[in-house]
Chains A and B, each alone.
Chain A
């Protein structure tokens, strides 16, 4: 079940919110148990076949983590390390097995493996108090808003909240608002951009500008798809009383690639920084070592996203850009006007997405060739205009939607307008919700791009 299935929106979500609200004054463990149960149901809905595998690995990791901490406190450091390494090694091996074998991938395995690892590392390093409560640890791992596609919230940031979820009216209404924003981004923007992108791919042979247009469509689609999904997840968590930090912050407004990665899939970057980059020594070591550390992180980031060479190429591309930025360009680019830097950064990121959407490295290179006009259809042709003409409004909405402009405009209107403004915005929101329903009903709606990872 995805957040954009009608069954989720109209049955699962209202039922969960209602029961969770009714349980507000019972002992907290009952509510935790309830959330664990509905999370497992949610997971089963998407992939019941692998639910036992998932449940086993939760149990195994819980025990291994507890064993490691106990062994360490009883002075058996070596045994403790072995227990920890064995569990982490097994998690990574399982992820690799699913990614590189012909087995079906369990739903969300890339994401939940990172949750398992975060639990192990956080209690090992004492980042948070280890209470050894299997109920809350399991809830962290299967919490349904984030289990399938993130955000990759870290154990230390989540576990404390299980004891006292903040079920306030403000959290409820602002969570719903954020959820609807996410729904809008996913259903009305991303899915339509997906149709536009597909219409470019369907051309087969294309003029240069058509290929560029396709790249822009996909880049915007991916942003609205994934950030919309994250908004929905964060909104859902908030309605249930849990705080998850934002996962995207206007990434296409970044002024350099390092900046881009502080704004795109923020939780994943934080995970790699905390559990890979800093343990390797981070930037507190000699220059060659720093470069190696960055290279390792980016190679792993690429591998995590997919098992084909094009994802590794994508990781290397971003790794090279980050290293170049950090050690060669540094702050020398400051002299260049901001908008130009934003456009250059976007161009670099968009080029990266060509590796991302291509099924393999060869077809990525083929697509780059098409952008340079290898099909011999010139810079632009009738098909280019045909596609541009019918997507110009969508494109404009998407470009404006990737900037802080709408949010700022709303702020300005609120500053000037009276309380009637609130009613107008709420009605607009309700209308958008109805449009989203129409799109969900009317289309064999697409599944989330990120689910395949």
Chain B
């Protein structure tokens, strides 16, 4: 007893704190563990747009090479209790701390969630440029057009927080298009978007442009593509609950976007869309079932496909080949009344020789429609165009 009296006063209180803390900690562990283990496993995380890991099958091979242990880790963290709530808590904590970005997404002004424009991969960009030029030289009769769309943060740096560093993508775009063969007509997408800057030309919660933005650029491109349009459209709002990739990535779910669909007012052209990868054929470029899913932008063509073939009743004698990324999905619908056939190739998923398409579909026009983020960093277009070179030289 005498010993206990001599101990400094704070010792007892500290010991009490430690004991209470131990109980709280064990309580938290037991509850979360029980919920994690006993709640049924989830298959899919809509927020992250990916399948969640399941309990890994035990095999001696998987144990020996260590993958079983890794898979067990992924299973446990993917199926962890209240995962979504913890993610939101983390984001809230980051914002409370004063962070102006989370997971690479910048919290811009007016509710815009912005990704940093991709830094140009100079080697890849140069190779792509050369591939496009030699393709144009090889087929001088084709009417070729290039539309390179900047990121929201690049087109509208005023949405960025003060001082936020971002690559000068507009300069990258100029230097890329400046090096293209003179036969290729370049559409200044950035200028067209900026001129309409009072309107919402990019989604606030997604990395794509809105249909309004695509329409602006279509109007600018029409002249270069020898298209005459009266510029009159009926606009239908098909969703007001869109939360796109930027919302998912940042964990910020405060804004919702609406998705609009533009239809020309005076249009009598009908069309059929073929998706060879799915083996399906539809009479609409819109897949409204996608509006019930997380990534509502896939309402346009149901998302990306290696190859899409559109046949129309336009009877203009013009057939268009589009090399594209997902930005084109909301752009190509504007082109439908002006071509007999439109063949869309997404080189990221298309591994065949596009030359076959040229002859097969009597292609007269070529359009490259890309976000700068993809074209200036990706090599798949070069691979598809260059693949042809390799086969020619044999």
Chain A contact residues, CB within 8 Å of chain B = 1, 5-7, 9-11, 14, 44-49, 169-170, 172-174, 176-177, 180, 192, 199, 202-203, 381-386, 389-394, 411, 414-415, 417, 419, 421-423, 425-427, 429-430, 433-435, 437-443
Chain B contact residues, CB within 8 Å of chain A = 9-10, 13-22, 24-26, 28-30, 32-33, 36, 63-66, 69, 72-73, 76-77, 80, 83, 86-87, 89-91, 93, 97-101, 103, 161-165, 251
Report whether A422 and B17 are in contact in the complex, using a CB–CB cutoff of 8 Å: yes
User: What DSSP secondary structure best describes chain A's contact surface?
Assistant: helix
Report whether B69 and A10 are in contact in the complex, using a CB–CB cutoff of 8 Å: no
Report whether A441 and B87 are in contact in the complex, using a CB–CB cutoff of 8 Å: yes
Report whether A176 and B99 are in contact in the complex, using a CB–CB cutoff of 8 Å: no
Expressed in whole angstroms, the minimum distance between the Cβ of A383 and any Cβ of chain B is: 4
CB contact under 8 A between A10 and B13, given known A48-B66, A386-B164: no
Across-interface contacts of B99 in A (CB, < 8 A)? 390-391
Report whether B16 and A1 are in contact in the complex, using a CB–CB cutoff of 8 Å: no
Across-interface contacts of B29 in A (CB, < 8 A)? 9-10, 14
CA distance A1 to B19 in the complex (A): 28
Across-interface contacts of A383 in B (CB, < 8 A)? 163-165
Q: List 9 A-B contacts (CB under 8 A).
A: A5-B73, A14-B29, A48-B64, A414-B10, A422-B20, A425-B17, A438-B93, A442-B90, A442-B251
Expressed in whole angstroms, the minimum distance between the Cβ of B14 and any Cβ of chain A is: 7
Report whether B14 and A422 are in contact in the complex, using a CB–CB cutoff of 8 Å: yes
User: What DSSP secondary structure best describes chain B's contact surface?
Assistant: helix
Q: Could you say which of A1, A176, A414, A439 contacts B90, with CB atoms under 8 Å apart?
A: A439
Report the 7 A-B pairs with minimum CB-CB distance, sorted nearest first: A382-B163, A442-B90, A386-B163, A426-B20, A414-B10, A430-B24, A173-B18
Report whether A443 and B76 are in contact in the complex, using a CB–CB cutoff of 8 Å: no
Q: Could you say which of B13, B20, B33, B80 contacts A414, with CB atoms under 8 Å apart?
A: B13
Expressed in whole angstroms, the minimum distance between the Cβ of A448 and any Cβ of chain B is: 15
Across-interface contacts of B66 in A (CB, < 8 A)? 47-49
Nearest B residue to A383 via CB reads: B165
Given contacts A382-B162, A393-B98, A425-B21, 19 further A-B contacts (CB under 8 A): A6-B76, A6-B77, A14-B33, A46-B69, A49-B65, A169-B19, A176-B22, A177-B22, A203-B165, A381-B163, A385-B162, A414-B9, A421-B13, A422-B13, A422-B16, A438-B89, A441-B86, A442-B90, A442-B251
Across-interface contacts of A46 in B (CB, < 8 A)? 69
CA distance A390 to B14 in the complex (A): 35
Report whether B25 and A1 are in contact in the complex, using a CB–CB cutoff of 8 Å: no
- Residue among B17, B26, B97, B103 with the highest chain A CB neighbour number at 10 A: B17
Q: Could you say which of A172, A177, A386, A426 contacts B162, with CB atoms under 8 Å apart?
A: A386
Expressed in whole angstroms, the minimum distance between the Cβ of B248 and any Cβ of chain A is: 13
Q: Could you say which of A172, A180, A419 contacts B16, with CB atoms under 8 Å apart?
A: A419
Q: Could you say which of A180, A419, A437, A442 contacts B21, with CB atoms under 8 Å apart?
A: A180
Across-interface contacts of A434 in B (CB, < 8 A)? 28, 89
Across-interface contacts of B165 in A (CB, < 8 A)? 202-203, 382-383, 386
Q: Could you say which of A1, A6, A48, A443 contacts B63, with CB atoms under 8 Å apart?
A: A48
Report whether B18 and A177 are in contact in the complex, using a CB–CB cutoff of 8 Å: yes
CA distance A14 to B22 in the complex (A): 12
Report whether A386 and B17 are in contact in the complex, using a CB–CB cutoff of 8 Å: no
Nearest B residue to A381 via CB reads: B163
Across-interface contacts of A180 in B (CB, < 8 A)? 21, 25
CB contact under 8 A between A442 and B13, given known A433-B28, A434-B28: no
CB contact under 8 A between A173 and B163, given known A49-B65, A426-B24, A443-B90: no
CB contact under 8 A between A386 and B100, given known A6-B77, A443-B90: yes
CA distance A324 to B86 in the complex (A): 51
CB contact under 8 A between A173 and B10, given known A385-B162, A439-B90: no
CA distance A426 to B18 in the complex (A): 7
Across-interface contacts of A9 in B (CB, < 8 A)? 29
Report whether B162 and A435 are in contact in the complex, using a CB–CB cutoff of 8 Å: no
CA distance A59 to B25 in the complex (A): 39
Report whether A170 and B15 are in contact in the complex, using a CB–CB cutoff of 8 Å: yes
CA distance A46 to B70 in the complex (A): 9
CA distance A390 to B102 in the complex (A): 11
CA distance A414 to B12 in the complex (A): 10
Expressed in whole angstroms, the minimum distance between the Cβ of A379 and any Cβ of chain B is: 15
Across-interface contacts of A421 in B (CB, < 8 A)? 13, 17
Q: Could you say which of B9, B76, B83, B90 contacts A415, with CB atoms under 8 Å apart?
A: B9
Across-interface contacts of A10 in B (CB, < 8 A)? 29, 32-33, 36, 76
Report whether A177 and B36 are in contact in the complex, using a CB–CB cutoff of 8 Å: no
CA distance A393 to B99 in the complex (A): 10
Report whether A385 and B93 are in contact in the complex, using a CB–CB cutoff of 8 Å: no
Across-interface contacts of A385 in B (CB, < 8 A)? 162-163
CA distance A247 to B217 in the complex (A): 62
Expressed in whole angstroms, the minimum distance between the Cβ of A403 and any Cβ of chain B is: 20
Across-interface contacts of B14 in A (CB, < 8 A)? 414, 422
Across-interface contacts of A44 in B (CB, < 8 A)? 69
Report whether A441 and B83 are in contact in the complex, using a CB–CB cutoff of 8 Å: yes
Report whether A390 and B98 are in contact in the complex, using a CB–CB cutoff of 8 Å: yes
CA distance A176 to B97 in the complex (A): 27
Across-interface contacts of B69 in A (CB, < 8 A)? 1, 44-46, 48
